[in-house]
Structure 1
Amino acid sequence: MYFHLRAVPPPALRNSAAWMRRLFEDDWDTVRERIGRHREEVLDGTYLDHDLLYAGAPPHHEPSGPRADAVLGGRPVLQPGTGRPPFLLLTAAQVARVAAFLRSADFEGLWQLARDTLLPAHGGPAAEEELHAVLAVAHRDLTAFYGRTARHGDAVVKCLLL
């Protein structure tokens, strides 16, 4: 299971679940080879940890805006009859706001707010160094992805692949 984000130029974007399914039909090995060469990013099955890092846990939860849009935000595009989660779509303007947020975000500050919620699910204090490193790398990669995407004026389509 992984969470896949793809940049899409607005003129190419279609508000169609069938079109979005085709956008994400490549197998994992093909996707992995494209990361870095194309405007795509992937979060592993711990994507909810990344969402918590940005959107925050109560009482710091952000219900909307660039913090909440970084991972799980976006307008849902339903996949009727499939039993699959909806695609999520961020407009180019929303992508620009997320890019600005990530560029200015203090990762250590975000980590301090989220660590007490995240650590118990990952083995407690013994896992802190590894979890911190994993989230820091993902933060760097998401910041680069959204920055490149915003510079190109693209939208982002997101998909949870099981």
Structure 2
Amino acid sequence: MSTYVRLRAVPAPALRNSPAWLGRLFASDGESLRHLVGRCPEGILDACCLDQERIYTSAPLEAPGGRLQAQVVLGGRPVFRNRSEPPLLVLTAAQTRRVAGFLEDADFDALWDLARDRLLPGDGGMTAEAETSHAFVVTHRALRAFYTHAAQWGAAVVKCCSEV
């Protein structure tokens, strides 16, 4: 099963601890969003992340950042809106910097090698390895660029995830 994730970089001083305010980050158009949180370049990423968490949770403990920081790439502190919607996930600016550092240092080929045997059976098998690997690396690069820009701006990150 794939995860569709929508990420929003929010300048840390603008971040509110209100489920309704956080929810508006994902209900607003681009111009309304910029008005709500201010200017933050590269502040929006919507991506289908496949089983991306499996790539990062395969990171060896001795790797820079280890598994704990790897798991926060798609995780965060849950903020519950209501029972029918999944919680929003919030990363502080400090956590955003750690994730950006992890993604910058991560060797995708090494992570792929650790996770490929768990991923390929559900994504077309060995005959589809080139396409599957390419899809994962494209998402990895998009996440790395997003988190790098967010960290450079000292932004927090709010995520809305859903299963597709």
Distance (whole Å) between structure 2 residues aligned to residue 87 and residue 63 of structure 1? 24
Partner of 2:52: 50
Pairwise mapping of residues 3-22 of structure 1 onto structure 2 (< 5 A)?
3-22=5-24
Runs (4+) of structure 1 exceeding 3 A deviation are: none
- Give the counterpart letter for 1:65 in structure 2: L
Q: Aligned match of 1:39 in 29, 40, 43? A: 43
Q: What is the letter of the counterpart of residue 69 of structure 2?
A: P
What letter is aligned with 2:117?
Answer: D
Q: Are the counterparts in 1 of residues 56 and 67 from structure 2 also a CA contact under 8 Å?
A: no
Rounded to whole Å, the distance in 1 between the matches of 2:49 and 2:68 is: 23
Distance change in 2, residues 1:64/1:108 (3 Å): closer
**Cα-to-partner distance string for 1:30-77 (whole Å, 9 max, x where unaligned):** x9xxxxx6411122162xx111111239x9xx9963201111x11000
Write the distance in 2 (CA, Å) between the matches of 1:26 and 1:63.
35
Deviation at 1:109, TM superposition (A): 0.4
Q: Residues 50-129 of structure 1 correspond to what in structure 2 (within 5 A)?
A: 50-56=52-58, 65-71=68-74, 73-81=75-83, 83-129=84-130
Distance 1:155 1:136 in 2: 24
Q: Secondary structure at the match of 1:41?
A: strand
Residues 14 and 6 (structure 1), Cα distance of their counterparts in 2 relative to 1, 3 Å cut = same
- 1:143 Cα offset (Å): 0.8
In 1: Cα distance, 2:135 partner to 2:121 partner: 16
* Superposed displacement of residue 10, structure 1: 1.1
Query: Is 1:23–2:29 an aligned residue pair?
Result: no
Instruction: Give ranges in structure 1 of 5+ residues lacking alignment.
Output: 32-36
Contact kept, 8 Å, 2:42 with 2:149, in 1: the verdict is no
Give the match for residue 34 of structure 1. Answer: none
Using the alignment, how far apart are the partners of 1:64 and 1:76 within structure 2? 19
Identity percentage over the alignment?
48
Provide the C-alpha distance between the structure 2 equivalents of 1:45 and 1:107, rounded to a whole number of angstroms.
Answer: 15
Q: Distance in 2 between matches of 1:135 and 1:123?
A: 14
What is the CA–CA distance in structure 1 between the aligned matches of 2:67 and 2:137, rounded to whole Å?
23
When normalised by structure 2's length, the TM-score is 0.81
Normalised by the size of structure 1, how large is the TM-score?
0.82
Q: How many residues align?
A: 149
Cα deviation for residue 86 of structure 1 reads: 0.4
The change in CA–CA distance for 1:107 and 1:64 in structure 2 (over 3 A counts) is: closer
